[in-house]
Amino acid sequence: MENTLQFGETIREPDVRLLSDMKDVLADKEWLRSAGDFELYYMYRELSRTESDLQRIRKAGLRYDITVIPPARLGKEFVKTKGHYHPIVPGAKVSYPEIYQVLEGEAVYLLQKAEGESIPDVVVIEAEKGDVVIVPPGYGHISINRSETTLKMANWVCTSFSSVYEPIRKAGGGAYYLLEEGFVVNPGYSEVPEIRRLEPVEPELLGLERREDMYGLVEDLERLRFLKEPQDFAEFFGEAFEEN
């Protein structure tokens, strides 16, 4: 099939996100009323280059995925992912984090911190090929393709939870929409802070060389323990998420 992905020894068909799946989180409702349904982006879950890698990743309680987002306009808005939060780690007071790397194209990551019904922090990180972005505990996130080329990105995540979509869906999307004229506030939120701009993390934090493919962490998955036990890595997240 056209969207089949071969990754090492793995051949995977995607989970497909359709426009109709996104109807509650888009800015341009007028455009949506007359838009026909079509495919927006493709999610390839639980990838590994070899069977032995797969068993190692599963034993560690992790998953490596790839998402492909072709360029598109959703009316006035740039194409984006649906957006979600992660639940709290059982027995802890923090939620599960996630880590992304741009493989092709350019990405804009919108991260928003939730405390009850309020959003005390909104962060935007722009990333290009090879850049690594960490979504720390407490933050929901949306990935946006603002470019005219396909965005291909990978992520490492713990397998012990399911993503939580309802808060962002209920609010009509993230705290900000990215339109051609720039970011605009989503009126579905009673109050949102100004956007903070951060840079991608220094890859040395993960023991990677600059632009190194983070799939290589499969050789030392202990370096990804923060994805499963974030409560033990407060200093690490502080360093990864500090102002540049």
Domains of the chain (ranges; CATH) run: 5-240 (2.60.120.10)
Q: What pLDDT is recorded for position 242?
A: 72
Mean pLDDT calculated for residue range 52-76: 97
Sheet hosting strand 106-115, strand order edge to edge: 139-144, 106-115, 118-128, 195-198
> Residue 241: is its pLDDT beyond 90?
no
Mean pLDDT calculated for residue range 97-112: 98
Count other Cβ atoms within 10 Å, centred on residue 207. Answer: 13
> Residue 210: is its pLDDT beyond 90?
no
Mean pLDDT calculated for residue range 197-223: 94
Instruction: Label the pairing between strands 195-198 and 118-128.
Output: parallel
Q: What pLDDT is recorded for position 2?
A: 80
Q: What pLDDT is recorded for position 120?
A: 96
**Among candidates 104, 114, 107, 58, which has minimal Cα distance to 84?**
114
Mean pLDDT calculated for residue range 148-166: 96
Say how far apart CA 131 and CA 214 lie, in whole Å.
10
Count other Cβ atoms within 10 Å, centred on residue 184. Answer: 13
Mind listing the pLDDT tens digit for each residue in 8-39? 999 999 999 999 999 999 999 999 999 999 99
Q: What pLDDT is recorded for position 239?
A: 84
How confident is the prediction for the chain on average, in pLDDT?
A: 95
Q: What DSSP state is assigned to residue 77? A: E
pTM, two decimal places:
0.96
Render 124-182 in DSSP notation, one character per residue: EEEEETT-EEEE-TTEEEEEE--SSS-EEEEEEEESS---B-HHHHHTTSSSEEEETTE
Q: Report in angstroms the alpha-carbon separations of 113 from 17, 38, 133, 224.
A: 24, 31, 16, 22
Do 151 and 72 form a contact (C-beta atoms < 8 A)? no
Residue 240's pLDDT band, with cuts at 50, 70 and 90, is: confident
Q: Report in angstroms the alpha-carbon separations of 86 from 107, 122, 165.
A: 20, 16, 9
The count of C-alpha atoms lying within 13 angstroms of the C-alpha of 171, restricted to the half-sphere facing its C-beta, is 26
Query: Would you call 69 helix, strand, or coil by DSSP?
Result: strand
> Residue 244: is its pLDDT beyond 90?
no
Residue 243's pLDDT band, with cuts at 50, 70 and 90, is: low
Residue 140's pLDDT band, with cuts at 50, 70 and 90, is: very high
Q: What pLDDT is recorded for position 1?
A: 54
Q: Which residue has the tokens 């359709």?
A: 18
Residue 188's pLDDT band, with cuts at 50, 70 and 90, is: very high
Query: Would you call 17 helix, strand, or coil by DSSP?
Result: strand
